[in-house]
A and B are shown apart, each in its own frame.
Chain A
Amino acid sequence: MADGLTAGPGAGELETHDFDVVVIGAGGAGLRAAVEAKERGLRTALVCKSLLGKAHTVMAEGGAAAAMGNVWSEDNWQVHFRDTMRGGKMLNNWRMAQLHAQESPDRIHELERWGALFDRTPDGRILQRDFGGHRYARLAHVGDRTGLELIRTLQQRAVSMGIEVFMECKILRLHKDSEGRVSAAVGYWRPTGSFVAFTGKAFVLATGSIGKSWKYTSNSWESTGDGHAMALWAGADMIDMECVQFHPTGMVWPLSVRGILVTEGVRGDGGVLRNSEGRRFMFDYIPPMFAAETADSEAEGDRWYDDHTNNRRPPELLPRDEVARSINSEVKAGRGSPHGGVFLDIASRRSAEYIRRRLPSMYHQFKELAGVDITAEAMEVGPTCHYVMGGIRVNADTEATTVPGLFACGEVAGGMHGSNRLGGNSLSDLLVFGRRAGMAAADYAEGRTGTPTVDAAESRKVVDEALAPFARDGGESPYDIHRDLQETMQSLVGIIRTESELVQAASELDKLAERAGAVAVSGGRAYNPGWNLATDLPSMLAVSRLVTTGALARRESRGGHTRDDYPKPDPEFGKVNLVQRFDEQGRLTLTPEPLPQMPPELAALFEEPAASPAPAPGKEGH
């Protein structure tokens, strides 16, 4: 391995590791995929940009949605499936939504066997909490640090199985063999800056999100869309990239923490949104699709927390896209809070002891970062770039992409969440499809013939390209380009979009790409964040391009994609995925392609009256 430390141009051999299955990304999805492949006895590598256990999954707060029926026995996979599809405005891949709803309870119980300690119901089962868009209290949780519990459990499982983990290693490109199968991944070690290749029979992308292209985001530095970009460059289909979720409640002050998430659990546990006039404005924004099941008075909404049977849910618990747009409108109308958000108030509605017990992380986060005691004062919150529903097109059952030997799971894959994701569905998504990707990758690896190799010329090209910024004199700082990219995407491809601004964004992206081509960095290769950022820029630019192009093409408003100039959903757009891919001439193309057709027995679930009054009792907790 010592050779790897000095590998690079002029140093001869590239450090190379050979595996059956190579998983890129070690958040929940990557860990779950690796565990599955390893369980099958395959040589499995897990490669991640940060230290193990630091991935963005750690930030998930509220819980993992699974229709276990522990709090409301009426809950079942059909109801969860229906909530998910309606939340996604029916743009979801129905089969993924079905598998997700059917399998997530097993995945949660499995975590418990591996050591997770979820909060409990009085009879000792896993407690479930209310969240936006979910008809029943459905989120398995641990206070408001469920993501930490999930990643730690999977991490400890992976470590105990002896999975080989390659930490602080950034993958730049995927290589294919002469038959078009992915056969290698080339990247570099952050601690040393030396290059490394992984050869494998099957590759799983689990690289998460793209949020770092926006200025205000809940995402960490890692969310640069590496997996999206690598898949695109390798020839994969990308779907519905315009569908980006702006979480309604991010912190807005102090400026330095703007965008950091405030869990939806605050609203699930009784918090309400108010404008500067003190009005619970969400009652003014109930869309027809959800009117029948949403309370139309504060009194009914308040009663719902203790009596789901005879009351309808408060509008603060509408799906995220609705709440984010409403907050945006209030602020635009001049009824915002002092720092440009709205007020999220749980202090006046729940006891201090209850708040500290249910929302310990939120309590600390506001106390320590904003000097706000959420048991005594309201929080100031506003929308923050949070999640991309679009992503790599995959087979619902196997998570196989359109490129042989390449699988994708978690946020980097598209389809599951349609145009808007429900809170809590992402942690269960990671588990369900991480496992399936691991299984299918293992199957593929076992069936693959021949020995995957690294092409020396191709890897040399990757290395040269990555090192080019060191050789440039007087080029621009990667930080400047990144800042301008974030400004562009925030102001022109944000929560509300319009044709003229999107066209302007596209031309800004051209200029930014040109500037990125001349980026220069200083210092050495060992743990050089400026250089690391320079190597992230191509991914961020590619992803920003996909989002902008998709947003221009989807001339309607649906879920996370809102067009000021086309404010309504268009049924025709509701029947298609917008597919982007490189054609044979290397041009990026966009084609609307029909959604997979739901079988009649599932379609029937959507014909029942939308608001059958609520379920019989069975509620516990609170």
Chain B
Amino acid sequence: MADVTMRVWRGDSTGGDFADYTMPAVEGEVVLDVLHRIQAGPAPDLACRWNCKAGKCGSCSAEINGMPRLMCMTRMDELPTEEPVVVAPMKTFPIIRDLVTDVSFNYVMARQLPPLKPRAPEADGTYRMQQVDVERGQEFRKCIECFLCQNVCHVIRDHEENKPNYAGPRLFIRYMELESHPLDTNDRRELLRQRMGIGLCNITKCCTEVCPEHIKITDNAIIPLKERVVDSSYDPIAWLGRKILRRTKRGAVEVAQDAPAFTAPTSEDRLERQTLPVMVGTAVGAGNPSTAASAGPGAGPAEAAGGTGPTAAGDPFGTDAGA
């Protein structure tokens, strides 16, 4: 078979450039296979993440010929071979080396999410749920955390300053999963509106397009979340309904009390501190100049979560404030 040329970005946070590697083509290979052969041959220090090589772990995300994809699921025979195959790291995250980026942003935002608070179980100590009710959440739990959706979301791809107050599509599906979880009793809507920037998304559906698990991120998570958040703020009928029907979901202030008030720094912070200084030592919330959420279409006055939460204990959703 003919040769293939891979044009791979090489470098680190201080800069770098593309390097060409010409390798013999092998039938049935994916992009990651060719990179592995480059590692075993001309460039043993070529850095890329990978684990399962079967599209299940979401480690090997990259931009292949400009398209954000998993390297392990991109077959060489579907790419044009007349020109070099260009492999670049995800753009939205700071580069560590070569194709490896610092994705700690996603882990930091995940730590701020109030977890499932299940209702009481049945008498036998277990739960009953119908298949139809778990299926909605199951769609979101297919997520392999490749962070390609985060990578293409221009709210953060083009605006680094939005990161501290924007959870991004990966986390929005997690919020929606919990919103629709048959057992959950938390209400995260104020948090989403105030701190997680649900209003910033303007529904371009880039995230949905790149999802390797084909999760309908925009239609099934972001839009319903936006609707719920707006309902909770402005809809007098919904408000009345809640009063009359005694809603089972718990309120934002209660949720805030349960959220981890302080999460110890972990290895992801090490890199995060170099790259996202705005998030460190800042009690994010009302009054923070970088609270971009207030510019969003769904945003209202900063009153709930951060504002009226138990501020004495510090930022209720904070991660490493003061660490």
CB pair B263–A50 under 8 Å, yes or no, is no
- The interface residues of chain B lying within 8 Å CB-to-CB of A255 are 26-28
- Per a CB cutoff under 8 Å, which of B98, B126, B144, B265 touches A109? B126
Instruction: Verify if B138 is at the interface (C-beta below 8 Å from A).
Output: yes
**From A106, which residue of chain B is reached at the shortest CB distance?**
B125
Q: Determine if A169 is an interface residue (Cβ-Cβ < 8 Å).
A: yes
Q: Given A165-B267, A365-B55, A479-B39, A256–B30 Cβ distance below 8 Å? A: yes
Is there an interface contact between A256 and B33, defined as CB atoms closer than 8 Å? Answer: yes
A527 in complex: contacting residue of B100, B145, B265, CB < 8 Å: B100
Smallest CB gap from A166: residue in B: B267
CB-based contact B271/A191 at 8 Å? yes
Inter-chain contact B264/A164, CB cutoff 8 Å: yes
Interface bits A282-307 vs B (CB < 8 Å: 1, else 0): 00000000000000000000000000
Report chain A residues within 8 Å CB of B29.
254, 256
> Which residues of chain A are near B271, meaning CB under 8 Å?
191
Judge whether B126 and A125 touch: CB under 8 Å.
Answer: yes
CA distance A148 to B107 in the complex (A): 17
Among A1, A115, A257, the residue within 8 A (CB) of B28 is A257
Given contacts A165-B267, A257-B54, 19 further A-B contacts (CB under 8 A): A53-B57, A58-B57, A109-B127, A112-B183, A117-B137, A119-B131, A120-B131, A125-B128, A142-B141, A152-B141, A152-B143, A160-B114, A166-B266, A191-B100, A191-B102, A222-B51, A255-B27, A256-B30, A521-B45
Chain A residues near B47 (CB, 8 Å)? Answer: 526-529
Minimum CB–CB distance from B269 to chain A (whole Å) comes to 8
How far, in whole Å, are A522 and B39 apart by their CA atoms in the complex?
11
From 125 to 159 in chain A, residues with beta carbon under 8 angstroms from any chain B beta carbon are 125-127, 142-143, 145, 148-149, 152, 156-157, 159
Contact A165 B45 (CB under 8 A): no
Chain B hits for A521, CB < 8 A: 44-45
Known contacts A148-B144, A361-B56, A522-B45; A369/B73 CB under 8 A: yes
Residues in B with CB closer than 8 Å to A53 are 57, 145
Q: Does B97 sit at the interface, judged by CB under 8 A?
A: yes
With an 8 A cutoff between CB atoms, is B21 at the interface?
no
- The one of A124, A254, A522, A526 that contacts B12, using a Cβ cutoff of 8 Å: A526
Docked Cα-Cα span, A257 to B75, in Å, equals: 11
Contact size range, A: 35 or more
A157 to B117, CA, bound (A): 11
B130: chain A residues at CB < 8 Å are 120, 124
9 A-B residue pairs with Cβ-Cβ distance under 8 Å, sorted by A, are A54-B145, A58-B56, A148-B144, A159-B263, A168-B267, A220-B52, A364-B55, A529-B39, A531-B45
Pick from A152, A157, A222 the residue with the most CB of B within 10 Å.
A152
A368 in complex: contacting residue of B40, B58, B73, B181, CB < 8 Å: B73
Contacts of A119 in B (CB 8 A): 131, 134
Interface residues of B in 93-149 (CB under 8 A from A): 96-98, 100, 102-103, 107, 110-111, 113-116, 118, 121, 125-131, 134, 137-138, 141-145
Closest to A162 in B: B263
Q: Which residue of chain A lies nearest to B76 when distances are taken between CB atoms in the complex?
A: A256
For the complex, is B307 an interface residue (Cβ under 8 Å from A)? no
Asked if A1 contacts B96 (CB within 8 A), the reply is no
Q: B122 → chain A, closest Cβ, in Å?
A: 9
State the CA gap A59–B50 with chains docked (Å). 13
Interface contact A112-B127, CB-CB below 8 Å: yes
Q: Is B159 part of the contact surface with A, judged by Cβ < 8 Å?
A: no
Which of chain A's residues have a CB closer than 8 A to the CB of B12?
Answer: 526
Q: Is B48 an interface residue (CB 8 A)?
A: yes
A221 interface neighbour in B50, B134, B145, Cβ under 8 Å: B50
Q: Which of A's residues lie within 8 Å of B, judged by CB? A: 1, 4-5, 50-56, 58-59, 109, 112-115, 117-120, 122-127, 142-143, 145, 148-149, 152, 156-157, 159-162, 164-169, 189, 191, 220-222, 253-257, 260-261, 361, 364-365, 368-370, 477-480, 483, 521-524, 526-531
B270 within 8 A of A: yes
In contact, A59 and B52 (Cβ under 8 angstroms): yes
Q: Is the CB of A59 within 8 A of B44?
A: no
Query: Which residue, A162, A169, A253, A255, has most C-beta atoms of chain B within 10 A?
Result: A162
What residue in chain B is nearest A525 (Cβ atoms)?
B45
B28, A522: Cβ atoms under 8 Å? no
Report whether B46 and A529 are in contact in the complex, using a CB–CB cutoff of 8 Å.
Answer: yes
For A120, the chain B residues whose CB sits under 8 A away are 129-131, 134
Residues on the A chain within 8 Å of B110, using CB: 156, 159
> Is the beta-carbon distance between B181 and A58 smaller than 8 angstroms?
no
Query: How far apart are B262's CB and chain A's nearest CB, in angstroms?
Result: 7
Once A142-B138, A142-B141 are accepted as A-B contacts, the answer to whether A528 and B265 lie under 8 Å apart by CB is no
Which of B73, B111, B137 is the one whose CB lies under 8 Å from A159?
B111
Q: How far is the CB of B124 from chain A (nearest CB, A)?
A: 10
Report how far A165 CA is from B269 CA in the complex, Å: 10
| B135 nearest CB across to chain A (Å) | 8
CB distance from B132 to the nearest CB of A (A): 9
* Contact for A254 among B28, B56, B178, CB less than 8 A: B28
Chain A neighbourhood of B115, CB < 8 A: 114-115, 156-157, 160
Report B254 CB to chain A, min CB distance, Å. 16
Closest-by-CB residue of B relative to A119 is B131
CA distance A261 to B262 in the complex (A): 40
> Please, how many angstroms separate the alpha-carbon atoms of A370 and B73 in the complex?
10
Residues of A within 8 A of B41 (CB): 479
Contacting pair B56 A148 (CB below 8 A): yes
Contacting residues, chain A, for B247 (C-beta < 8 A): none
A160 & B73 in contact (Cβ 8 Å cutoff) = no
Give the distance in Å from the alpha carbon of A257 to the alpha carbon of B32 in the complex.
11
Minimum C-beta distance from B221 to chain A (A): 15
Nearest residue, chain A, Cβ from B143: A152
With a cutoff of 8 Å between Cβ atoms, the chain B residues found around residue A164 in the complex are 264-266
Chain A residues within 8 Å of B111, by CB: 159, 162
Report the bound CA distance from A343 to B174 in whole Å. 39
In the complex, chain A residues whose CB is within 8 Å of the CB of B102 = 191
A254 CA / B41 CA spacing, docked (Å): 21
> In the complex, which residues of chain B have a beta carbon less than 8 angstroms from the beta carbon of A54?
51-52, 57-59, 145
- Pair A167/B268 contact, Cβ less than 8 Å: yes
Instruction: Tell me the complex Cα distance, A257–B39, Å.
Output: 18
The CB with the most chain A CB atoms within 10 A, among B40, B52, B100, B183, is that of B52
Contact of B52 (CB < 8 Å), options: A5, A58, A157, A480: A58
Complex contact A527–B54 (CB within 8 A): no
Q: Is B250 an interface residue (CB 8 A)?
A: no
Residue of chain A at shortest CB distance from B125: A109
- B53 interface contact, C-beta 8 A: yes
